[in-house]
Amino acid sequence: MKNIQNIGLGIFLIGLTIFTSLIFLGKYEVSPELFESFISNKDIKSELFINDIKSNIVDKEYTNPFSFSSEIRSALDNANATHKQNSEWDKVIWDKPHSFSYEITKRAGTGLIKENKGLFWWLTFGLGILGALMYIIPNVITLGPAGIKNNGIWFNQATNRGWIGWFAFIFLVGFYLLLYFAPDYIVNWTYIVDPLSERISGNSASQWYLYGFMYCVVMTVMAVRMYIKYRHNKYQILRTTSVLFFQIVFAFLIPEILVRFEKPWYDFKNAFPLDYDFFYSWNLDQLIASGGLGLFILIWGIVLTLVIVPVMVYFFGKRWYCSWVCGCGGLAETLGDPYRQLSDKSLKSWKLERWLVHGVLVFALIMTGLTLYAYLSGAEGVLGIKTQSIQDIYGFLIGAIFAGVIGTGFYPIFGNRVWCRFGCPLAAYMGIVQRFKSRFRITTNGGQCISCGNCSTYCEQGIDVRAYAQKGENIVRASCVGCGICSAVCPRGVLKLENGPEYGRINPTQILLGNDVNLMDLVNQK
């Protein structure tokens, strides 16, 4: 069994190495025809840029995306600088340089990978999936009988912030930086998912399609791991199935199929303010222009945030979203599960968490308020602040850096819910409802707690669960996403997630059940 696992690990690493090295392969060449069609497509009016490209890049072969992209971007920068100096505003190309370069690069690529998309899919995704499953599935036997088997987690370099963890951290952060800020470097990755993309939406794959597809693959493989690890725990099995379903169907398939029918890309479960650009003017315009479905999406999005989310949180706690539906939560609960013990449990980090997460919520609301004001009034901004620049700052700081680079990249260092805990504005909103108006709580079972600390250690949200359990107090915390692992790892059956009457839900105690009844009354009723 150990051999199968080691071979699996080897195959996985080969797949990963091939995947990584694809960035450096392939050739890039812009033919005159390609460039002409690009110019007319993008409606480029800058003759400076056109001439620059024609004389320096067209018909020249590049062997890596970096030098190719760098030349395109410098041509763009030079042209724009001149146009701006001369106030030739209609000639300026406003696209973000890397996104602009991506569009050319995606078409300009040639060679091995573009010609063998299927083969390279198998060499990367195929080997990765196969290897990972060979590593994971023997756990049915190697972990021993079903039950909590966290043996050796703190001795393992991958899960105790050891060198493997740091390596994974660098890899993930690098991946997200490329994905968000330099998509033109990773066109080769997008080629290998082109065939699938074309089959679903009819379009070739963008970097976001690639990301969505990878997301589904990673979640599926790591869900298999969850099914094995928690095969004795039906709550975990159902929850894992649920997040997997919502990711694949709602976040991936439905939006792509909508695109196929020339409808706007929309993830029906992605609620504002997590879906922070829902009220951006381009989205509202697109929805309004898309007829009945667009209007339905517009109303659905508003009802989801204002009615469905709080009502569901009232009945079930925010877990209904965070650990049963949400895509970010879904990745955290599958790919992130091996890292849950790394979240910081100190009081300091709780304080930081409250400032940050509510800060992001306020930021999102102010930004949206300004956006809507601008949209309805037709103004460009308020009090001299351009809505566009606030949106850009939010998109960069929160949407890309916080949610992506830090949110997932930091899994191996700060645990798997960094974004959900410190950054997600939707989580902040639901947290307020959960804390003050909800039936959800984690019940503490009388006086059974032995303060062992498994619950706190494995809480991905960094809640010091034990601090409550050892006082016989129910856990009613805004940040709890109801993953149920504290209850699973408790060796004494102390914790149970439940939805019950609000009365008695918050029950601060000093003396626990089991002691003198009169003493309990005396102390607890003070």
Partner 1 sequence: MEHIVIIGNGISGVTAARHIRKLSNKKITIVSAETDYFFSRTALMYVYMGHMKFEHTQPYENWFWKKNRIDLKKGYVKTVETKSKTLHFANGDTLQFDKLIIATGSKPNKFGWPGQDLDGVTGMYHKQDLDNLEKYAPNNKVCKRAVIVGGGLIGIELAEMLHSRNIPVTFLVREDSFWNGVLPEGESAMVNREILDNGIDIRLGVNLKEIKADENGKVNSIVVTETDEEIPCDVVGLTAGVSPNIDFIKDSDIETSRGVKVNRFLETNIKDIYAIGDCAEQHEGINQRRPIEAVWYTGRMMGETVAQTICENRIAYKPGHWFNSAKFMDIEYQTYGWVWAQPKDNEARFYWEHESGKKCIHLNYDKNTREFIGINTFGVRMRHDFFDKVLRENRSVDYALEHLADANFDPEFYRLHEKEIVAKFNQENNTNIQLKKKSWKRIFQTS
Instruction: Evaluate whether 442 touches 465 at the Cβ level (below 8 Å).
Output: yes
Interface residue with partner 1 among 197, 408, 470, 479 (CB under 8 A) is 470
Residue 497 binds to partner 1 (criterion: CB under 8 A): yes
Residue 6 binds to partner 1 (criterion: CB under 8 A): no
Give every CB contact of residue 247 below 8 A, 6+ residues apart in sequence.
215, 216, 219, 327, 330, 331
Interface residue with partner 1 among 154, 208, 245, 436 (CB under 8 A) is 154
DSSP characters over 303-315: HIIIIIHHHHHHH
- Contact mark string toward partner 1, 209..248, x via CB under 8 A: -----------------------xxxx--x----------
Residue 1 binds to partner 1 (criterion: CB under 8 A): no
Residue 496 binds to partner 1 (criterion: CB under 8 A): yes
Backbone torsions φ then ψ of 496, nearest 5 degrees: -140, 125
Residue 146 binds to partner 1 (criterion: CB under 8 A): yes
Interface residue with partner 1 among 491, 506, 508, 521 (CB under 8 A) is 491
List binders of partner 1 among 333-362 (CB under 8 A).
346-347
Query: In terms of CB distance, is 233 or 416 closer to partner 1?
Result: 233
Between CA 292 and CA 21 the distance in angstroms is 46
Interface residue with partner 1 among 21, 78, 86, 151 (CB under 8 A) is 151
Query: In terms of CB distance, is 155 or 282 closer to partner 1?
Result: 155
Residue 508 binds to partner 1 (criterion: CB under 8 A): no
The distance of closest approach from Cβ of residue 138 to partner 1 in the complex, given in angstroms and rounded to an integer, is 15
Residue 85 binds to partner 1 (criterion: CB under 8 A): no
Residue 116 binds to partner 1 (criterion: CB under 8 A): no
Instruction: Evaluate whether 392 touches 277 at the Cβ level (below 8 Å).
Output: no
Residue 226 structure tokens: 């969850």
Interface residue with partner 1 among 41, 150, 203, 389 (CB under 8 A) is 150
By CB under 8 A, the count of residues binding partner 1 is 60
- Contact mark string toward partner 1, 433..462, x via CB under 8 A: ----------x-xxxx-xxxxx-xx-----
The distance of closest approach from Cβ of residue 234 to partner 1 in the complex, given in angstroms and rounded to an integer, is 4
Residue 374 structure tokens: 């601008």
The distance of closest approach from Cβ of residue 522 to partner 1 in the complex, given in angstroms and rounded to an integer, is 8
Write the CA distances from 194 to 4, 181, 207, integer angstroms. 32, 21, 10
In 3D space, the residue among 273, 438, 285 whose CA is nearest the CA of residue 361 turns out to be 273
Pairing mode of beta strands 27-29, 440-444: unpaired
Give the chain's length: 526
The distance of closest approach from Cβ of residue 493 to partner 1 in the complex, given in angstroms and rounded to an integer, is 4
In 3D space, the residue among 338, 354, 302 whose CA is nearest the CA of residue 221 turns out to be 338
What are 193's strand-pairing partners? none
Residue 488 structure tokens: 């699973």
Interface residue with partner 1 among 440, 466, 475, 476 (CB under 8 A) is 466
Q: What is the CB-side half-sphere exposure of residue 168 using CA atoms within 13 A?
A: 22
Residue 501 binds to partner 1 (criterion: CB under 8 A): yes
Helix (H) or strand (E) run with residue 234 in it: helix 234-245
Between CA 96 and CA 395 the distance in angstroms is 13
Contacting range for partner 1; rule: CB under 8 A; set: 163-171, 268-276, 381-389, 485-493: 485-493
The distance of closest approach from Cβ of residue 223 to partner 1 in the complex, given in angstroms and rounded to an integer, is 17
Query: In terms of CB distance, is 114 or 161 closer to partner 1?
Result: 161
Between CA 105 and CA 118 the distance in angstroms is 20
Residue 157 binds to partner 1 (criterion: CB under 8 A): no
Between CA 57 and CA 35 the distance in angstroms is 10
Instruction: Evaluate whether 381 touches 405 at the Cβ level (below 8 Å).
Output: no
Interface residue with partner 1 among 116, 220, 241, 507 (CB under 8 A) is 507
Interface residue with partner 1 among 147, 195, 291, 369 (CB under 8 A) is 147
Between CA 236 and CA 339 the distance in angstroms is 16
DSSP characters over 189-215: HHHHTHHHHHHHTSS---HHHHHHHHH
The distance of closest approach from Cβ of residue 235 to partner 1 in the complex, given in angstroms and rounded to an integer, is 5
The distance of closest approach from Cβ of residue 437 to partner 1 in the complex, given in angstroms and rounded to an integer, is 17
Contact set with partner 1 (CB under 8 A): 144-148, 150-156, 232-235, 238, 346-347, 443, 445-448, 450-454, 456-457, 466-467, 470, 484, 487-489, 491-493, 496-498, 500-501, 503-504, 507, 510-519, 523
